[in-house]
Amino acid sequence: MSIKVTTLVENCVKGRGVKGEHGLSMFFETDDKVLLFDTGASDLFLHNAKLLGKRIEDVDLLILSHGHSDHTGGLKAFLEVNSKAKVICKKSILTPKFRGNRENGITNIDILDLSRFVFIDDFYKITNDIYILPNIEIRDIKDTHFSNFELLTKEGRIADIFDDELAIVIVNNNAISIFSACSHRGITNIISSVKDHIPAQKINYLIGGFHLAESTINDTLFISDYLKNDMPTHIGVCHCTGIENYSILSNELGKNVFYNYCGTEIIL
């Protein structure tokens, strides 16, 4: 079964018509399912979907990677346009999030129809080819991105270590493809956790943000060194990776790396 993945929202745009914003949203089409992975920071995903010929009304499942506003800002617009899709996420996604004085979590939770939400905690099967990884074990603290992020709890503000983060895993053609929106818990830790569930599989596509935009060169080289030992066939970086770090990864890993612009389509 082939699966088409179209990036509806991303920071950068290549081509005419579609628009970019600091956020991420990806549209998955299979033979029998249509999935949306995050909604970007606003309702811009609706504009881009129309231009790219994607019907948001047809989405069967919305999967939310974590609770930050640049990934959930279009949630209300999605629920208004699409009346059938369930929303799959971890329950902790609803906890208010802050960075400094700025609230950057899901807003207006009290008006959301939570009956449409499916909260998961374990490795979750959508189809025979598509899974969700909700438990990302931190094997190496060097590849985590928690700085200055906080949660608001009953006890007050605490450090956010992104227990709400999840990733999508696709298994087809004797390989796995991994889609991570922001990789706060670390793309290397995500890969290791995926391998716990699906061992001894070659990585075909590794797509998403690696959250390196505010990291050091050594942080980026740590990831490139890790990937050299288990090189994916295709590495599509975007969003919070940062253009400079895309250049470093491209220099280190060569032709395997591409930038996953808004409007990019790939077929697995």
Q: Give the pLDDT confidence of 4-31 residue by residue, as tens digits.
A: 999 999 999 987 899 999 999 999 999 9
What pLDDT, in 10s, does the model give residues 34-61?
Answer: 999 999 999 999 999 999 999 999 999 9
Top CATH class, 4-267: alpha beta
Average pLDDT over residues 120-140: 96
* Sheet of strand 97-99, all strands in order from the earlier edge strand to the far edge: 102-103, 97-99, 149-153, 156-159
**pLDDT value for 192:** 96
For residues 135 and 125, what is the distance between their CA atoms, to the nearest angstrom?
14
Phi and psi for 96 in degrees, rounded to 5? -60, 135
For residues 215 and 3, what is the distance between their CA atoms, to the nearest angstrom?
33
- Structure tokens given for 56: 């948001």
Average pLDDT over residues 163-190: 96
Residue 111 has pLDDT above 90, yes or no: no
Yes or no: say if 8 and 51 are a contact pair by the CB < 8 Å rule: no
Average pLDDT over residues 171-188: 96
**pLDDT value for 48:** 97
Residue 14 CB neighbour total at 10 angstroms: 12
Yes or no: say if 35 and 130 are a contact pair by the CB < 8 Å rule: yes
* Residue 104: band (very low, low, confident or very high) from pLDDT cuts 50, 70, 90: very high
Least confident of 63-72, 83-92, 94-103: 94-103
- Structure tokens given for 139: 């094997």
Query: What's at 13, amino acid-wise?
Result: V
Residue 151 has pLDDT above 80, yes or no: yes
Q: Strand 130-133 relative to strand 124-125: parallel, antiparallel, unpaired?
A: antiparallel
- Structure tokens given for 40: 């970007």
